[in-house]
Amino acid sequence: MSDCIRGEQTTREETIGSFLLPRLHEIGLHHVFGVAGDFNLEFLDQLEETDGLDWIGCCNELNASYAADGYARTSGVAALVTTYGVGELSALCGVAGSYAEHVAVIHIAGAPPLGKIEEHAIMHHTMGDGQYGNMLAAAQPFSVAQARIEPSNAVTEIDRCLRACLLQKRPVYLQLPSDIAYVTITAPVAPLTVTIGSDMAMLRDFSHAAAMKIQAAATVAILVDADVDRFGQTAKVLELAQRLGASAAVMGTAKAVVDETSPNYLGVYAGAHSQAKVRKVIENADCLLLFGVRFADSTSGSFSQNVIPDRTITIDAWRSTVYPENFEGIAMQDVIGALLRSVDPRKTLNTDAKHVEMSPTLSVNDSGVSQKWFWQRIQVFLRAGDVVAAENGTSLSGITGTPMPTGVTVLSQALWGSIGYSLPACFGSMMAAPDRRHLLFIGDGSFQLTAQELSSILRHRLKPIIFLINNDGYTIERLILGERASYNDIQLWNYSHLCSVFAGDTPFESCRVISTRDLEQALNRAADSDHCFFIEVIMPRMDAPEALRTLGPVYAQQDYGKSWERLR
């Protein structure tokens, strides 16, 4: 019986699936990624009956997890559905990447029937020991909330996990036994509420301490990491930089988060491997505001940052520090708002650090395509509002050094660094924002890991421009160790022919280019294309962006220590 208060219905009878699926749509989802399996089919039946939600089946669970990650980076949150054991463990690498890089993904794993779980029956897709806690245990380190959904806890556990996902911008895990999706429960009528609340006394104390530190500083600078984007604070951070007259640099994980056409934008900070002007401003600032910054080896030039702690103010998702004092329980968005209200405007922007990026003048002829020429040409090819997916290695290194027009989103996995990520992530992003132009840059080695998802791109008649950089194997690894070693070799594919294998009746265009003239012609056609355009670019095996060539030996020394010289 539904409860009523003052004549208004507050609850209703509905099935667990018909409660969970509208909740997903309510928080902004229009698509759900995954792979069908016999423990999730009833739930998928309900999904297909749910208005506003479309099922996006992927070629495998790993690709589905990457696609969900890309969708969430573009739209804010994503959902992933797998089956028990074999499906969810296949997806776990991608889910772990979302956890590491603070991406909100809701992972729903269909499980054996609840009765079979309770009687410890030996079911397929299990360890054959009648134990059913192991998949929950496997998910726990890579999610901020986990639950096995049962009729008795469905409402509270679903809402608890969804709130945790949205508030912490990390994956959550819902295990859904196969026989309960149509079980009726009493569910609230009211929509899900997600309240961001800060400790106001702590916020006032922080605001006062931070304002004092900023006021006492002759120079102020800002360093931004990916959480600024994850928590939707990009515009506010730039507004704060303008108010403070501060230059703002980004970590490599936050490429293009700050508008690179803004006079406040400084560049990418990578410790000792930064451009000199970027390093000087960031490391010499009397007060440095760090927004969500994590100094990882892959973004700091193997921990070569030189940031003096007592000059810093650190603003993280749910805590901040005016060194050395910590202020707990205050949200980033509230902190930025408080700073905008409490700090006085300044006009101390270091104009000496500014630079104007000129469009390069490039010769076009029958010579081969070098990395340097390619990325300079891509700089001109980019448009405002593009989404750029860049695979780890030469692609991400090239994109990191390429100036971005306003409104560009860069999809990369610079911290977790799972190769093959960018192709399915680009697919997921295109499902979230099909009206934005998507460009994918991926190496031949990485492409071979997830190439099947090219078929999903074609199946949905999406229109990316894909640059397959064919440099004959794992160039990034060759630059670290094993330049001539067989373990860095891969089988040569006829990459430009693969669209014809996957396309069915979907129109596409593909080509293989070996010269700058070939590439120029391909770019001119791709710029006006109304379908998927696949460009295989042949490049020399050991050619790479200069930053990657410099960092290869640095990472070799970090990873192998004194043995590196002998190993090389």
The pLDDT tens digits of the residues spanning 315-339 come to: 999 999 999 999 999 999 999 999 9
The pLDDT confidence band at residue 482, using thresholds 50, 70 and 90, is confident
Number of other residues whose CB lies within 10 A of the CB of residue 491: 7
| Residue 421 sits in the same domain as residue 451 | yes
Q: Are residues 135 and 233 in the same domain?
A: no
Query: Does residue 565 lie within any of the structural domains?
Result: no
Looking at the fold, whether 321 and 443 belong to one and the same domain comes out as no
Q: How far apart are CA 485 and CA 492, in angstroms?
A: 16
Cβ contact 458:545 at 8 Å: no
Residue 522: in which H helix or E strand, if any? helix 516-527
Residue 89 has pLDDT above 70, yes or no: yes
Work out the pLDDT band at 550, boundaries 50, 70, 90.
Answer: confident
Position 292 scores a pLDDT of 98
Give the residue from 566, 426, 545 showing the smallest Cα distance to 476: 545
Q: What is the mean pLDDT of the chain?
A: 94
Pairwise CA distance, residues 287 & 141, whole Å: 35
- In three-state secondary structure terms, 66 is helix
> Within this chain, do residues 52 and 98 fall inside the same structural domain, yes or no?
yes
Query: Distance (Å, rounded) from C-alpha 340 to C-alpha 40?
Result: 48
Q: Do 491 and 387 share a domain, yes or no?
A: yes
- The 10 Å CB-count burial string (b at 16+, else e) for 110-134 is bbbebebbeeeeebebbeeeeebee
Q: Please indicate, yes or no, whether residues 89 and 137 belong to a single structural domain of this protein.
A: yes
Nearest to 58 by CA among 428, 547, 442, 343: 428
Count the neighbouring beta carbons within 10 Å of the beta carbon of residue 268: 21
Q: For residue 241, is it within any domain?
A: yes
Looking at this protein, which amino acid is placed at residue 382? L
Look at residue 33 and tell me if it is in a domain. yes
Q: Is there a domain that residue 475 lies in? A: yes
- The CA–CA distances, whole Å, from 345 to 216, 241, 248 equal 13, 10, 16
CATH assignment at residue 386: 3.40.50.970
Q: Which amino acid is at 36?
A: A
Instruction: Among 142, 166, 188, give the residue marking a domain's end.
Output: 188
pLDDT tens, position by position, 99-139: 999 999 999 999 999 999 999 999 999 999 999 999 999 99
| 388 assigned to some structural domain | yes
Residue 408: is its pLDDT beyond 50?
yes
Boundary (domain end) residue, out of 318, 353, 388: 353
Q: Which residue has the tokens 């090239």?
A: 398
* Interaxial angle between packed helices 371-381 and 516-527, expressed in degrees from 0 to 180 and rounded to the nearest 10: 20
- Give every CB contact of residue 568 below 8 A, 6+ residues apart in sequence: 481, 483, 556
Residue 264 lies in a domain: yes
Distance of CA 202 to the CA centre of its chain: 31
Same domain (yes/no): 435, 399: yes
Give the pLDDT of residue 1. Answer: 36
Q: Backbone phi, then psi, for 105, in 5-degree steps?
A: -125, 130
Residues designated catalytic? 38, 61, 124-125, 417, 444, 471, 473, 477
pLDDT score recorded for residue 2: 44
CA distance 256 to 259: 6
Q: Are residues 183 and 205 in the same domain?
A: no
Task: Say what the pTM is.
Answer: 0.95
Comparing 272-276, 417-421, 541-545, the range with the smallest average pLDDT is: 541-545
Q: Are 397 and 483 contained in the same domain?
A: yes
Looking at the fold, whether 208 and 184 belong to one and the same domain comes out as: no
Domain identity same for 459 and 501: yes
What range does the domain containing 444 cover?
Answer: 371-547
User: What are the contacts of 274-283 at 24+ separation with CB within 8 A?
Assistant: 274/249, 274/301, 277/352, 277/353, 277/355, 278/249, 278/353, 279/306, 280/353, 281/219, 281/221, 281/247, 281/249, 281/350, 281/353, 282/221, 282/223, 282/249, 282/307, 283/307, 283/308
Q: Same domain, yes or no, for 455 and 315?
A: no
Tell whether 193 is covered by a domain. no
- For residue 552, name the pLDDT band (cuts at 50, 70, 90): confident
Residue pair 162/155 in contact by the 8 Å Cβ criterion: no
Question: How much of the chain exceeds pLDDT 90, in percent?
Answer: 89
Q: Tell me how far CA of residue 558 lies from CA of 250, 259, 271, 474, in angstroms.
A: 23, 33, 15, 19
User: Which backbone phi and psi does 483 adopt, to 5 degrees?
Assistant: -55, -40
Which DSSP category does 473 fall into? S
> At residue 48, what are phi and psi to the nearest 5 degrees?
-65, -20
Q: What is the mean pLDDT of residues 153-178?
A: 98
pLDDT tens digits for range 343-384: 999 876 654 545 555 567 788 999 999 999 999 999 999 999
pLDDT higher than 50, residue 5 = no
Residue 283 maps to which CATH number? 3.40.50.1220
Mean pLDDT of 189-193: 94
Residue 568's pLDDT is: 57
* CA nearest to 430, candidates 412, 457, 399, 458: 457
Q: How many CB atoms are closer than 10 A to CB 199? A: 15
566 band by pLDDT with thresholds 50, 70 and 90? low
H or E stretch including 560?
Answer: helix 546-560
Q: What are phi and psi of 347, to 5 degrees?
A: -130, 65
SS (H, E, C) 254-301: HCCCCCCCCCCEEEECECECCCHHHHHHHHHCCEEEEECCCCCCCCCC
The whole-angstrom separation of Cα 62 and Cα 432 is 19
pLDDT of residue 4: 47
For 527-552, what is the mean pLDDT?
A: 93
Q: Per the structure block, which two tokens stand in for 469? A: 């950089």
Q: How many domains does the chain have?
A: 3
Quick check: is 110 in a domain?
Answer: yes
How many C-beta atoms surround the C-beta of residue 403 within 10 A? 17
